[in-house]
Amino acid sequence: MAAIHSDSSCIFCKIIKGDIPSFKLFDSDKTYAFLDIGPLSKGHCLVIPKYHGKTLQDIPDEHLGEILVVVKKLATATGSTNYNVLQNNGRIAHQVVDHVHFHMIPKPNEEEGLGVGWPTKSADMEELKKYCEEVKSKM
């Protein structure tokens, strides 16, 4: 198993270590889940890799494999049929805590849960095609 990378100043690393309390929902060798203390709705929880990293690209693949499985378990356990899974990277993308985390946010009604702005633009199909090829070539 790869070594767990930790940051002593990180609030979520402290939660994983048990140095600050959390309402723990799941705990395995690579993954930890707990209730969000500033919930957007009842059941709002966070699933994190135990490996410390700020954004998704900082986390090795082998530390991400269980995350969505746990998100799915939590959606089921909270009785959520309408919900959003959210993972913010970077300040302008609303990331506040610099340890990768996936939100599972139940959407029980219009008022509670995640509100999303979705400012779509119409796309030029030729440009999309070119861009698709460009991105694919870098993967």
What the block records as the tokens of 108 is 């029980």
Could you say which DSSP state residue 8 is in? T
- By CB under 6 A, is residue 11 in contact with ligand AMP? yes
Confirm if 45 and 33 have CB atoms less than 8 A apart.
yes
Question: Measured between alpha carbons, how far is residue 93 from residues 1, 55, 105 in Å?
Answer: 32, 11, 17
CB of 99 to ligand AMP, least distance (A): 9
- By CB under 6 A, is residue 36 in contact with ligand AMP? yes
Side-chain half-sphere CA neighbours of 70 within 13 A: 24
**Cβ proximity to ligand AMP, 32 vs 34, nearer residue:** 34
Site for ligand AMP in 64-123 (CB under 6 A): 88, 94-97
**Catalytic residue check, 94:** no
Question: Which residues of this protein are in contact with ligand AMP, per CB under 6 A?
Answer: 11, 22, 34, 36-38, 46, 88, 94-97
Active site residues: 101
